[in-house]
């Protein structure tokens, strides 16, 4: 399971790091972010890359789980 911890990073680093992880063409991926902006940008990118995305609202961050659909 690939995990990208992008918590606390400014734009566009969460998207850059997720994109880098996608280079290995993982079947599934978890990205942790802590701002609404990063949550939306990363989720949108994963959806556009053909993943189905679920976001869980943790107390201090958002957990984005993506599975190749």
Partner 1 sequence: MSRHRVVGPSAWILGAAGLVIGVGAAWLVSQGNPGNMGLCIACFNRDITGAFGGAWANMGGVAYLRPEILGLLLGATAASFVTSEFRPRGGSSIPLRFVLGFVFMLSSLIFLGCTVRAWLRLGGGDLNALYGIAGIVAGVMVGVVILKQGFNLGRAKVTSPIVGWIGPAIMAVLLVLAFMVAFGSAPGFVTTTPAGAKATAEGAVVQGDSVLKPPGGTLEDGAVVAEDGTVISPAESVAKAPPMPGGRRAPFAISIVAGVALGVVAQRSRFCSIGGIRDAVLVRRYDLLFGVAGLLVGATVANLLLGQYNLGFVGQPIAHTNALGNFAAMGVAGLSATMLGGCPFRQVIMSGEGDADATVAVLGMFAGALVAHRFVIASTGAGLSDKAWPVMAVMAVVLLVIAFAKRERVA
Among candidate residues 60, 46, 36, the one with its CA nearest the CA of residue 15: 46
Tell me how far apart the 2 most distant CA atoms of the chain are, in Å: 30
Minimum CB separation from partner 1 for residue 42, in Å?
11
Query: Between vectors from CA 22 to CA 19 and to CA 28, what angle results, nearest 5°?
Result: 130
Among candidate residues 44, 2, 55, the one with its CA nearest the CA of residue 25: 2
Per-residue contact flags (x/-) with partner 1 for residues 26 to 65, judged by CB under 8 A: --------xxxx-xxx--xx-xxxx------x--x-----
CB nearer to partner 1: pick between 30 and 48: 48
Residues that bind partner 1 (CB under 8 A): 7-13, 15-16, 19, 34-37, 39-41, 44-45, 47-50, 57, 60, 69
């Amino acid at each position: 399971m690939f995990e990208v911890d992008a918590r606390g990073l400014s734009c566009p680093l969460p998207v850059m790091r997720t994109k880098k992880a996608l280079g290995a063409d993982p079947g599934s991926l978890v990205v942790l972010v802590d701002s609404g902006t990063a949550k939306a940008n990363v989720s949108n990118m994963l959806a556009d890359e053909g993943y189905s995305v679920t976001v869980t609202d943790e107390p201090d961050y958002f957990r984005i789980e993506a599975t190749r659909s």
